[in-house]
């Protein structure tokens, strides 16, 4: 007889921002090698299938743009094609073409000469995490981040300076994370908070900032990773519990509520 069968454990998440001091301090932005702007991975097949389905069946929910963004949309598509070498898919919109090529979601932010902040003028957003294009399109950064509890006036000023400071050919990146009781990628509202006894997952967003040279729009890229909580390495699990322990009521509420917070701590307790 051979050795007893053991189910293969899932691989640890490739990105654990809660365990990296460089990323944990907000806004936690770092330089990005331009060659690493896009990040395909082992989840490519699943995510691309869902993206294409969303563009086909829920187009108005995942793709939108203001008329002033048309040149930036076309320039973004050119940048993705140049980076990937992919053929342009059949879609009437540059954003639809981009959404069918890569896993990243993209938001285009532009600033008029008479405006103090960048505004969201277009996006392909197949995998939102508790927000929707209908709520945010056309609004400035401060409005977009309004629900974030620790988005203070000081942080708002730093984020605005960040967007103003993005240089052509010198992209930046950061990451954030949340715990969800589901692995569903499309989460435009807070309804997932009501899930009962769902398996816990860690959701990480690798966020990139790229300046387009002609339109001068800033491309905010979002590459989403979702992994079971039990896929964390012991070190990642300990660091996550340490990151969750000191959160106050407002932050806990924003991240999913007391029940989810307690369930996550309980799930991690045995790894500490």
7: confidence class by pLDDT, cuts 50, 70, 90:
very low
Query: What is the rounded distance in angstroms from the CA atom of residue 99 to the CA atom of residue 265?
Result: 36
Q: What is the mean pLDDT of residues 16-32?
A: 88
In this predicted structure, the answer to whether residue 2 has a pLDDT above a threshold of 50 is no
Bridge partners (DSSP) listed for residue 129: 187
Q: Coil, strand, or helix at residue 77?
A: helix
Termini Cα distance of the chain: 36
Q: Is residue 242 domain-resident?
A: no
Q: Coil, strand, or helix at residue 154?
A: helix
Q: Is residue 237 domain-resident?
A: no
Buried b (16+ CB within 10 A) or exposed e, 142-172: eebbeeeeebeeeebeebbebbeebeeeebb
Q: Is residue 240 domain-resident?
A: no
Could you tell me which of 98, 74, 84, 81 has the C-alpha nearest to residue 35? 84
Q: What is the pLDDT of residues 193-223, one digit of tens each?
A: 555 567 899 999 999 999 999 999 999 999 9
Q: Is residue 169 domain-resident?
A: yes
Higher pLDDT among residues 8 and 241, named by residue: 241
Could you tell me which of 189, 152, 143, 184 has the C-alpha nearest to residue 50? 184
Q: Is residue 249 domain-resident?
A: no
Q: What is the mean pLDDT of residues 224-243?
A: 95
pLDDT at 144: 84
Q: Is residue 116 domain-resident?
A: yes
Q: What is the mean pLDDT of residues 148-168?
A: 80
pTM higher than 0.85: yes
Q: What is the mean pLDDT of residues 171-178?
A: 95
89: confidence class by pLDDT, cuts 50, 70, 90:
very high
Q: Is residue 191 domain-resident?
A: no
Helix (H) or strand (E) holding 31: strand 30-31
Residue range(s) defining the domain that contains residue 142: 17-176+205-229
Q: What is the mean pLDDT of residues 56-82?
A: 97
pLDDT at 201: 95
Q: Is residue 236 domain-resident?
A: no
In this predicted structure, the answer to whether residue 82 has a pLDDT above a threshold of 60 is yes
pLDDT at 145: 74
pLDDT at 1: 41
Q: What is the mean pLDDT of residues 39-60?
A: 96
Give the number of domains in the chain: 1
């Amino acid at each position: 007889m051979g050795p007893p069968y053991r189910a293969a454990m899932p691989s640890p998440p490739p990105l654990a921002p809660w365990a990296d001091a460089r990323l944990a301090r907000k806004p936690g932005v770092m330089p990005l090698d331009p060659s690493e702007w896009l990040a395909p991975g082992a989840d490519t097949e699943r995510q691309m299938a869902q993206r294409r389905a969303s563009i086909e069946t829920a187009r108005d929910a995942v793709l939108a743009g203001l008329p002033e963004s048309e040149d930036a949309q076309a320039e973004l598509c050119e940048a993705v094609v140049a980076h990937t070498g992919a053929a342009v898919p059949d879609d009437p919109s540059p954003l639809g073409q981009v959404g069918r090529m890569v896993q990243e979601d993209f938001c285009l932010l532009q600033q008029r000469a008479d405006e103090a902040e960048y505004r969201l003028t277009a996006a392909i957003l197949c995998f939102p995490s508790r927000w929707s294009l209908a709520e945010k399109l056309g609004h400035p950064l401060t409005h977009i981040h309004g629900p974030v509890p620790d988005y203070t006036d000081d942080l708002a000023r730093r984020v605005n300076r960040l967007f103003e400071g993005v240089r052509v050919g010198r992209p930046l990146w950061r990451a954030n994370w949340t715990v969800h009781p589901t692995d569903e990628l499309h989460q435009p509202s807070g309804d997932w908070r009501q899930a009962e006894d769902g398996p816990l997952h860690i959701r990480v967003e690798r966020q990139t900032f790229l300046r387009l040279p002609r339109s001068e729009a800033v491309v905010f890229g979002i590459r989403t990773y979702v992994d079971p909580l039990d896929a964390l390495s012991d070190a990642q699990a300990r660091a996550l519990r340490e990151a969750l322990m000191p959160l106050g009521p407002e932050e806990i509420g924003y991240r999913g509520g007391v029940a989810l917070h307690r369930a996550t701590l309980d799930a991690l307790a045995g790894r500490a």
